[in-house]
Structure formats: C-alpha cells, structure tokens
Structure 1
Amino acid sequence: MQINDSGAALGYYVSEDGYPGWMPQKWTWIPRELPGGRASFIHVFEPVEDGQTRGANVFYSVMEQMKMLDTLQNTQLQSAIVKAMYAATIESELDTQSAMDFILGANSQEQRERLTGWIGEIAAYYAAAPVRLGGAKVPHLMPGDSLNLQTAQDTDNGYSVFEQSLLRYIAAGLGVSYEQLSRNYAQMSYSTARASANESWAYFMGRRKFVASRQASQMFCAGWKRPSLAAW
C-alpha cells in the first residue's frame, strides 16, 4: 500500500502469484482512484492502531489457545487409547527367597536342572488343561498361581474443566458465547440462552454495519451511482 505524507492511500500493490512466499512475486500497482475521481480499489478494514494499513485477523488473539486445545484433545485421545489397553499376568505365590534362589543359583548344574524342571512342569500343566467354555479354552492355573489383568488408571486430571476454560477464552476472543462455540447448551436456561444470543447479535450487527455496509456502499458508488448520474 502506498500512502502520502498525511497517511492517505494513493494506490495498492497486488501480488499476482497464487500463494505469496513460494517464488519471486510479481506485483501490480493499482491506483486508489481513476483520473476522473472514481474509486478503482475498495479497501475496507477496521484499524486498531495508528498507521495500520491492513486488517487484523480475529483469530490472532486466540491462536495460541486454539493450538493448546488441539494438543489437549489429541493427548486426551492418546490417553483414552492407553486406558483401553490391558495386560494379563500370571502371578505366583512363590516367595522372594525361593525366586531368588531359582534365579541367582542357576549357575550350578543342580540349580539349573531344578529351574528347568520347574518350568517344564508348569508348561506341561498348562498344555494339558482341556476345559472349554462355549468353544473357548479356559486355562486352569497351577496351585498358588493367579491370573490378573493390569489396566491403566482411569483419571480425568481435570480435562473437562480445562477444555471448557480454553473454549471460553476462545469464545471471548471471537466475540461469541461459549455455548455457541462449543454447541453445548446443557447448562443453560432459556433466559441465559436468550441473553447470550442477544449479546452475540449486537456484536455481529456492529461488525456488519462497519464492514459489510461500508463495503456495499463503496461498491454501489463505484459501480452504480456514477453511471446513473451520468445517464441522468
């Protein structure tokens, strides 16, 4: 955008490339007004700082929170997958001293034979368990053994509250209510829903009056008003 000493726009440089930044860009300069005073370029935005020449994306203020929400939801999904897993373990009542004797004493030939024989007896016992229930094999454990299922702890860790907090922050930055953004109206009454809708309606009506109406007025003046006056 080219401006004069007073900050008024004189013309605009428009990139003709498909996406800026991929290759050397080709710029075309378009004047703000034609020689006859008719507008040739419509530039509508809402400045918030002195010297600003381009509009600010409404998502800028909440972009970090949106990234946090995406990471939080992906992490929660991974946690749910882990919680759905389980491991089956067979635990023995063999005391610690006897187990250490089997393991640490395996250097001697006699102890190795005892360990091999013990494991062989267990394997033979489980292989010879023919009991079935509905076509599925039901193993009979050796005396003193127990079959346990190990699962991850099912803890929320405040996920729901934290997610609501992020959604409320994002909703406030975008100018909408939490319920409209999350589509969760479970905790709202009719009066609160009506008040929230009225507040959002007022916000969007203000935005429409400043941006849409201003752009439509300039389009009307540039495309319809002048030909009509010329014909008149």
Structure 2
Amino acid sequence: MAAMNWRQRIGAFIGGFDAGQHHRRLRGFRATRAHVNALIAASGPDITARARWLVRNNGYAVNAVESWAANTAGDGIKPISKIADPVRKEELQRLWLAWTDEADAEGLTDFYGLQRRAAREVFIAGEVFFRIRPRRGEDGLRVPLQLQMLPAEMLPLEQSGVAANGNTIRQGIEFDRIGRRVAYHVLRRHPGDSTDPGLAGEVVRVPASEIIHVIDPVEGGQLRGVSKLAPAIVKLFLLDQYDDAELDRKKVAAMYAMFVTSPAPENPLAPPEDEAGDAGYEVSPGQIVHLDPGEDVTVGQPADSGGTYEPFQYRTLLQISAALGIPYPYLANDMVKGNFSNSRLALIEFRRRVSAWQHSVMVYQLCRPVYARWMDAAVLSGALSLPDYEANRPLLLTADWLPTKWDWVDPLKDANAEIAQIEAGLKSRTQAIAERGYDAEQVDREIAAEHARERALGLDFRRPGSPAQGATAVPGENADNDATNSDDADDTAENRPREDEDQP
C-alpha cells in the first residue's frame, strides 16, 4: 500500500499541474502556506501605514480612492420602506431623512457621508468600525442614536489570548465557545495620535451588539481586513520614485550649463573668482566671449528620457489599475487612450463590481444593521408610531436600498432602449425608477401634482408626440374643444359608408 501511494505521488509530480512543479523556472517561487490571519497579524500594520502614506502623497493612489468612494457610495445608498400604509411610510421616510443629518457623532457629515468615509476606509485599510452610540432624550436628537466611526488601528491586531470569562480573543475580537463574535477590544485613543491626551494603550471591551465591522474578506475565516492597495503598493512607490528621477533629469537638462577648460588653472591672468567661487563668466544673448589662449568651452548635454518613458508609464499604470480594480481612465484621469466602445466595456465591468460590493458589503454590513437599530430607537423613544411593532418587526424593517443612479454613457440611446424595454414588458416603470435611486410611488405623486398644477395654470410642457400626450383628458377641461371634436367625429361617422354597404 505504501509503495502504491508513493508511486501515485511520483506520478502526480511528473504528470500533474505545472504550477506544482519545482523545476528550474519555479525554483525561486516559494509561496507561504500560512493562513491570511497570520499574514495580517505579521504585516497588517505596515501595509495599512504604507497605504495611508501613498494616499497622502501619491496622486494616483488618492485618485483611485476617491473614484472608488464616489462610485460605491456617491450621494448615498438610501432606503425605501416597504410598509404598505402610505401615510406611515411617508412618516417613516421623513423621520429617517431628518435623522441622517444627526447620525454622525462627530457632527462632520450625515449618514450618507459616513457611507462615503466607510468606502474610503475599506479601500485604504481593508476595514472600518462603527460604534453605535445610544443617546439620552435630553440630547435633543430626533432619534436618540448616533454613529462613531473608528479606523482599523483602533482595534489592535496584537490583542490575542484568552479572556477572563474563558472566551478566545483573536486580533482584538472576542469569540464565544461556538465561534460567535461577542465583543471587540477597542483602544480608547488612536495609537498614532500624540495630540490625544488619553492614556496610550488603554483598551475597553465593547459588546459586539454595539459595534459594526465593515470588511470585505478575500479568504474564508478571515478576521481582519487587508488594504485594497496592497497588490499595488510596491509599483506605486517605485513608479513615484522613477517619476521623481525623471523630473530631476528634466530639471538638469533645462539648465544652460557651460564648462571652461583651461590648460593652466593657476594662471595669474585668469579672471578673479567671486565670493561664491565662480569664475565670473556670464553669457547674455548676442554676447561675444573672449577666452584666454588654450581655454575651451563645453556645453552640458544631460541624457534625455527618450521615447520609452510614456509607454513604460502607461504599461505600469495598467498593471496598477488591474491590481486596484479601478479602470485606467479613473486612475490616471487619462481619457485620450480609450475610444467609446472599449471605455463603455470597462465602465460596465467596473459598475458590476461596484454593484456587487454595494449590496454584499455596504448594504448588508452597514446599512441594514443601522436601519434596524434606528427603527428600534425611534419606536422606543416615541418618535415613530408603528402598531404591533414587536410582532411585525421583520416585515416593518423590509426596505429597498437604492444606490446613487449611474450616469448614462449615451443618454439618448440608453433612454430609448429603456423605454423599449418597458413597452415590451421586459421591465416595469417601478424597476426603472428604482434603478435611478428614486421611489416610484413618490415620483408618481410628484408627476400627478405637477400635472394638476399645469392644468390649473393652463400650461402643457409635454413634448409633442410623447406618450404623455395620449393621456386621457380630465372631464370638464377644454369643453369647447371636446364638443368641437365630438361634432367633427359625428360628421365623419355620418359621411363614412357602412361596412355592409361596401359589401358586394
């Protein structure tokens, strides 16, 4: 049996996957078998620090982060309640909108601004934490609840061991005996903020019900996040150095430098040097310079970067773009190299990735938990009245989360295509409106109100030939025209021969 197993292993090595071989081409390729948690524990702080440095100092890095945040969060991913009662739904939506301005415990932005900041942090550090802060009634909030954003550094990776209650602490997260997260061990002050007078290194235990951990894990069992900049950090840093070297080269090349060679440097007849040690030669336009016998002038000619600079930059930025998952035009702000077709393909692919991240990370991990805690606090505080809330809570919490609408690449063609889909029954108006980030019921109410106002003022802004022109007239409106049209119709009917008269 042992001999057969050995032969199977030998056969697998000889005729198996080339990627598993150890021949000359892969001799230096020694990949670690450590789990991602061990790798993050060893390298996570350095990766996060380098990512933050690049975002502060590298134009491509900050552009990638801002592009990601603008596309994933935009103006905000907003809820549309599924409550059937329109009055209670309107009351809930108004209260939610009012609370979003009070959501940030720091008072720097609203709830949708916190979404954008969360998207930036997840891109830079791989994760972000929000602490739910219940407030008192005398604090004057519409709903006594706020959110405090905590960066990844506030949860120390080295915080591991066994708690006093027997639970396991791994990288700052406390787990019970069946693997559920029960608490987070958070620093009271940022470890790198020397301006905070708090005690450095002091940790507080916060129940897991009060912490929201936003993370996009890349491997099973992953506990903490990894920066999305990690695969591109080395190339971004080296490309930055290369660019600096080329700038210095150009700076030297732009200087008009001359060198005077003399066979007798100790010649007493040479021009006196100034205080800086220069010989005193100055060149002006049209000047004729007389040199001493034997002296020669050489003009400096530093090497140019040549024609390889632009292709090298472009190819390196393409690799960085692929590593970050950001389209090249969004990374480099270069719209010259792409035509309409390939730019549209790249945009569609990018939007699919963004849409998947929005629903699987932002909505699931941040928006839904906040919405649930907000509604609980609103009902308990009396700010919102929902009968039988406890019994019907799962149903009342149901909502559609609508991201910011995508801008059309070709507005006329895209709009016509969507109208054709609606008319063919391939999608509904409700779905089309929801994809733009709006509530169909609210849009319909606004359209009805506008039409009523136009009729009252005798206005009609509908485009001739549009579907709205074929709408049923309001009874009593334009009675004279209706009567005239009716008489014309009667005359036409009288003059029109009957079908049986036309029959042979």
TM-score (norm: length of structure 2): 0.34
Aligned counterpart in structure 1 of residue 214 of structure 2, from 44, 49, 64: 44
In structure 2, the residue matched to 1:69 is 239
Amino acid of the structure 1 residue aligned with 2:188 = E
Pairwise CA distance, 1:143: 7.7
Pairwise CA distance, 1:189: 1.0
In structure 2, the residue matched to 1:32 is 208
Equivalence map 1:1-232=2 (5 Å): 1-20=173-192, 24-33=200-209, 40-90=210-260, 120=269, 137-141=287-291, 147-156=297-306, 158-214=308-364, 215-225=366-376, 227=379, 228=386, 229-230=389-390
Which secondary structure does the structure 1 equivalent of 2:317 belong to?
Answer: helix
Distance 1:88 1:170, change over 3 A: same
Rounded to whole Å, the distance in 1 between the matches of 2:187 and 2:292 is 79
Pairwise CA distance, 1:225: 4.7
Pairwise CA distance, 1:51: 2.9
Distance 1:137 1:197, change over 3 A: same
Rounded to whole Å, the distance in 1 between the matches of 2:193 and 2:259 is 57
Rounded to whole Å, the distance in 1 between the matches of 2:186 and 2:235 is 32
Rounded to whole Å, the distance in 2 between the matches of 1:21 and 1:13 is 18
Pairwise CA distance, 1:179: 1.8
Q: CA RMSD in A?
A: 3.3
Pairwise CA distance, 1:181: 0.6
Which secondary structure does the structure 2 equivalent of 1:151 belong to?
Answer: coil
Q: Is the 8 A contact 1:85 1:151 kept in 2?
A: no
Pairwise CA distance, 1:60: 1.4
Q: Percent identity?
A: 22
Which secondary structure does the structure 2 equivalent of 1:42 belong to?
Answer: strand
Pairwise CA distance, 1:4: 2.4
Amino acid of the structure 1 residue aligned with 2:373 = A
Q: Is the 8 A contact 1:47 1:55 kept in 2?
A: yes
Q: Which runs of 5+ in 1 are unaligned?
A: 34-39, 93-98, 104-114, 124-132
Rounded to whole Å, the distance in 2 between the matches of 1:48 and 1:153 is 46
Amino acid of the structure 2 residue aligned with 1:187 = K
Which secondary structure does the structure 1 equivalent of 2:215 belong to?
Answer: coil
Pairwise CA distance, 1:172: 0.9
Rounded to whole Å, the distance in 1 between the matches of 2:293 and 2:218 is 78
Rounded to whole Å, the distance in 2 between the matches of 1:142 and 1:10 is 88
Q: Is the 8 A contact 2:185 2:204 kept in 1?
A: yes
Q: Which runs of 5+ in 2 are unaligned?
A: 1-172, 272-283, 380-385, 393-504
Q: Is the 8 A contact 1:177 1:200 kept in 2?
A: yes
Amino acid of the structure 2 residue aligned with 1:55 = G
Rounded to whole Å, the distance in 1 between the matches of 2:331 and 2:228 is 15
Pairwise CA distance, 1:77: 1.1
Rounded to whole Å, the distance in 1 between the matches of 2:178 and 2:316 is 42
Which secondary structure does the structure 2 equivalent of 1:158 belong to?
Answer: helix
For residues 151-197 of structure 1, the C-alpha deviation after alignment (integer angstroms, 9 at most, x for no partner) is 21223373222222221122112211112211112121111111111
Aligned residues between the structures: 195
Rounded to whole Å, the distance in 1 between the matches of 2:331 and 2:200 is 40
Rounded to whole Å, the distance in 2 between the matches of 1:61 and 1:146 is 54
TM-score (norm: length of structure 1): 0.70
Rounded to whole Å, the distance in 2 between the matches of 1:43 and 1:90 is 68
Which secondary structure does the structure 2 equivalent of 1:29 belong to?
Answer: strand
